[in-house]
Amino acid sequence: MRNIAPKRALARRSRRLLTLAVFSFLIGLVFSVLALLLFVVPLLVPSNPSFDLYNLLRTGALIFGVLLIILAVVMVVRALTWRMDNPLAQVTGEALSEFLGDEYLFLRNVSKSALGYIDAILIGPPGALIFRIIDREGVFFNEGKRWMLQREKGEWLPMRWSPTVEAVEDIQKLRAYLARHDLEQIQVWGVIVMTQPPPQTQVTVDNALVPVAFLDELSYKLSDTYFAKDRVSPSDLAELANLLMN
């Protein structure tokens, strides 16, 4: 199994964001300078009937310019701190490589504007499998979309976020993405992976919408779902891999 991260695509996206930041900064600078000039050298006097509109326009131009400059700074920070890999996904891929052959491709740290961020996607003859990877210790309970965490005194408290909800959203986005590229025949599955083993982490599942598994359980936990049978042609898999890697 190939276990890779699309670093070239991520680097290219980072460069595009930097370029967009430069343009935003220059446009914001132009608007800000022109607005300040209109304040320093006013073209209309306060007694002019059109002064209120003039004042509104120059104030709006100044605010717009400053906002563009702030946006440019945010984009620069985002581009320079773009994560090029996901260590947890790499560990997950290594666990999968122990029982999967070369017909499978494990893509880590997938980040595309049409999909958002996905921890990892396994592409193989059964279809596409989305991974939501959790690196937390504790005692968890999952029912449907709901997740709860057991506290030290034994009481259960609802979690503020749901790995299931995030996984379902990723699945829906990838299905829509495939439909736009005429690849709706590729089935999309999902799994939530717990990287911390028992007894540090324990999970009780009741009617889960998305399967939950530890690293050493992936092969048999998905044997009746994703790994049940081959469904996708090699040509469709190659097209999907090309879409996600570029």
Number of DSSP helices (H) and strands (E) in the chain, helices first: 6, 10
Q: How confident is the model at residue 84 (pLDDT cuts 50, 70, 90)?
A: low
Residues 95 and 143 in one domain: yes
- Residues with Cβ within 8 Å of 155's Cβ and at least 6 positions away in sequence, in order, are none
pLDDT at residue 82 tops 70: no
Cα–Cα distance, 48 to 56 (Å, whole number): 14
What domain range is 228 assigned to? 85-245
Residues 47 and 148 in one domain: no
Residues 157 and 217 in one domain: yes
pLDDT at 114: 84
Residue 110: C-alpha distances to residues 159, 184, 191, 225 (Å): 25, 19, 16, 23
Cα–Cα distance, 169 to 175 (Å, whole number): 10
Domain boundary among 21, 56, 80: 80
Residues 89 and 178 in one domain: yes
β-bridge pairing 105-112 and 188-194: unpaired
- The domain total for the chain is 2
Average pLDDT for the chain: 89
* Peptide bond between residue 199 and the one before it cis (omega within 30 degrees of 0): yes
Residues 156 and 95 in one domain: yes
Residue 236, in any domain of the structure: yes
Q: How confident is the model at residue 227 (pLDDT cuts 50, 70, 90)?
A: very high
Per residue in 125-142, pLDDT (tens digit) is 999 999 999 999 999 999
Residues 157 and 39 in one domain: no
Residues 67 and 138 in one domain: no
Mapped onto helix, strand or coil, the DSSP state of residue 55 is: helix
7-40 vs 51-80: helix crossing angle, rounded to 10: 150
Residue 2, in any domain of the structure: no
Is the separation of the CB atoms in 213 and 194 below 8 Å? yes
Share of the chain above pLDDT 90, in %: 57
Per residue in 142-190, pLDDT (tens digit) is 999 999 999 877 789 999 999 999 999 999 999 999 999 999 999 999 9
Residues 109 and 203 in one domain: yes
Residues 119 and 29 in one domain: no
